[in-house]
């Protein structure tokens, strides 16, 4: 049967990191024995959940809920929401954008599928272009989203030791080359998986490179500014007319409502709007209307800084303390977690692959993500690719401790210590 499927569809039918991650999340929902330290689900933060419940009740009481579930929205998104986002960006960040520079999508995954395939593959001018990731590891799905084969170019990082425990990736600008076959660059900030936050200097250099080569720089800010602002270091979010900014409502606690926001030049917004119309008719407006008042009143900024960020910061502190306890006598390096809600572990002397270690840990009832999936297109000959694991610390601290204990036992067993 598979031989009769299209070449396009076959790109999505094999074993992918995204499928592994989502299959594991499906197992968690039906098998409560698993400790889920693997997926990207945000935590249920009580104050945020309460606010969203109240917003739903307001929509029901006002009669807006009936219209919401029975009416197609514009393929650009809800007009009130787009206007509110435009005013928010102008007011809080000083950005010179109007409503024609903003489009809503059915989640960030949809945003990136559209954007990657807009700028990569066989283009109208006859050139076969690729998306360049200036630094890996990067988001697990980037390597799975492109319809064309070999349309992703990945650049290896510089690895900097900070101390005996922590290290940090940085962009190796000396070796970074942008050919005429690069259609766009993309970077996540903060980074999923490593929690890395590229510096303002690195961001400025990327913007300059993109402008000089007249290609878009796609900035994935799903965990960053202006919301939910899960950032543990001070950085700015500079505006460039040639950049494409991707935001999300997921990490505020609305992952299931699939709401992405793209800010870009009008021709790009018009292209996304057209693709939305063909592939989805319209976009889901539930997340937009649930957060409309929060954005209009700027309460979303206060909530991000005073509720969401401190919640994850407290979980991070507890998780790092537990790592010190369970990994004390093991050579387990941790990427300095400057944002998002992940820990990225590097085991330099790992005698098996991260995929094999993942299977051993899963057999013990703990879900993590093997690191190799975050290096799409990078050869297995680079050992670092197969020596890393991604862990989420969005769960309750008790579950995190039980999971770390089992992870440390399995690492110790394969290292025979």
Q: How far apart are CA 366 and CA 408, in angstroms?
A: 12
Handedness of CA 229, 264, 135, 369 (dihedral sign): positive
Where do you find CATH 3.90.1150.10 in the chain? 2-48+302-415
Give SS3 for 311. Answer: helix
Inter-residue contact 263 to 101 (CB < 8 Å): yes
CATH 3.40.640.10 correct for 64-298: yes
Give the residue carrying structure tokens 């940090």. Answer: 168
Q: Which helix (H) or strand (E) holds 103?
A: strand 102-105
pLDDT in tens, the chain (417 residues): 567 787 777 777 766 656 665 666 566 656 667 899 987 789 999 999 999 999 999 999 999 989 888 889 999 999 999 999 999 999 999 999 999 999 999 999 999 999 999 999 999 999 999 999 999 999 988 988 888 878 899 999 999 999 999 999 999 999 999 999 999 999 999 999 999 999 999 999 999 999 999 999 999 999 999 999 999 999 999 999 999 999 999 999 999 999 999 999 999 999 999 999 999 999 999 999 999 999 999 999 999 999 999 999 999 999 999 999 999 999 999 999 999 999 999 999 999 999 999 999 999 999 999 999 999 888 888 999 999 999 999 999 999 999 999 999 999 999 985
Q: Which residues of the chain does CATH 3.40.640.10 include?
A: 64-298
Question: Helix H segments across 285-396?
Answer: 286-296, 299-303, 309-326, 354-363
pLDDT of residue 28: 60
Residue environment code for 302-311, b if the CB has 16+ CB neighbours within 10 A, otherwise e: ebbeebbbeb
Please give the Cα distance from 208 to 200 (Å, whole number).
12
Q: What span, in angstroms and rounded, lies between the C-alpha atoms of 227 and 247?
A: 8
Tokens matching residue 356: 């094999």
Please indicate, yes or no, whether the overall pTM of this predicted structure exceeds 0.85.
yes
Closest alpha carbon to 122 in 140, 141, 146, 142: 146
The three-state DSSP-derived secondary structure of 129-141 is EEEEECCCCCCCC
Q: What was the pLDDT predicted at 17?
A: 59
Q: Which positions ≥6 away from 263 have C-beta within 8 Å?
A: 89, 95, 97, 101, 102, 244, 245, 246, 247
Burial of 165 (0-12, 13-18, 19+ CB in 10 A): middle
How many residues make up the chain in this entry?
Answer: 417
Tell me if the domain spanning 2-48+302-415 has CATH number 3.40.50.720: no
Specify the pLDDT at position 117.
95
Cis, peptide link before residue 137, omega less than 30° from 0: yes
Given a contact cutoff of 8 angstroms between Cβ atoms, the answer to whether 37 and 400 are in contact is: yes
């Amino acid at each position: 049967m598979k031989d009769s499927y299209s070449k396009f569809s076959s790109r999505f039918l094999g074993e992918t990191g995204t499928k592994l991650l989502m299959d594991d999340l499906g197992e968690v929902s039906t098998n409560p024995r698993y400790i889920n330290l693997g997926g990207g689900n945000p935590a249920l933060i009580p104050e945020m959940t309460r606010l969203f419940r109240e917003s739903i009740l307001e929509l029901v009481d006002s009669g807006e809920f009936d219209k919401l579930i029975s009416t197609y929205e514009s393929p650009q998104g809800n007009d009130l929401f787009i206007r509110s986002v435009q005013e928010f960006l102008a007011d809080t960040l000083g950005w010179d954008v109007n409503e024609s520079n903003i489009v809503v999508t059915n989640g960030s995954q949809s945003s990136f599928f559209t954007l990657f395939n807009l700028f990569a593959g066989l283009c109208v001018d006859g050139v076969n272009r690729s998306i360049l990731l200036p630094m890996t590891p990067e988001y697990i799905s980037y390597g799975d989203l492109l319809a064309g084969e070999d349309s992703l170019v990945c650049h290896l990082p510089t690895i900097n030791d900070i101390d005996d425990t922590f290290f940090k990736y940085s962009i190796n600008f000396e070796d970074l080359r942008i050919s005429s076959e690069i259609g766009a660059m993309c970077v996540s900030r903060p980074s999923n998986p490593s929690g890395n936050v590229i510096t303002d200097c690195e961001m400025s250099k990327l913007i300059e490179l993109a402008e000089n080569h007249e290609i878009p720089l796609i900035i994935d800010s799903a965990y960053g500014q202006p919301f939910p602002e899960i950032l543990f270091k001070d950085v700015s979010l500079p505006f460039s007319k040639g950049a494409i900014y991707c935001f999300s409502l997921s990490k505020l606690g609305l992952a299931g409502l699939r709401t992405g926001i793209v800010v870009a030049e009008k021709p790009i917004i018009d292209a996304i709007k057209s693709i939305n119309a063909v592939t989805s008719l319209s976009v889901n407006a539930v997340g937009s209307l649930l957060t409309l008042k929060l954005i209009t009143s700027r309460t979303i900024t206060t909530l991000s800084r005073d509720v969401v960020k401190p919640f994850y910061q407290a979980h991070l502190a507890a998780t790092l303390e537990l790592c010190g306890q369970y990994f004390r006598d093991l050579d387990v390096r941790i990427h300095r977690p400057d944002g998002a809600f992940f820990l990225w572990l590097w085991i330099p002397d790992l005698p098996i692959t991260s995929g094999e270690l993942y299977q051993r840990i899963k057999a013990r009832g703990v879900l993590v993500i093997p690191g190799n999936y975050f290096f799409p297109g990078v050869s297995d000959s680079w050992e670092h690719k197969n020596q890393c694991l991604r862990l989420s610390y969005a769960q309750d601290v008790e579950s995190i401790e039980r999971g770390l204990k089992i992870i440390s036992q399995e690492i110790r067993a394969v290292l025979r210590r």
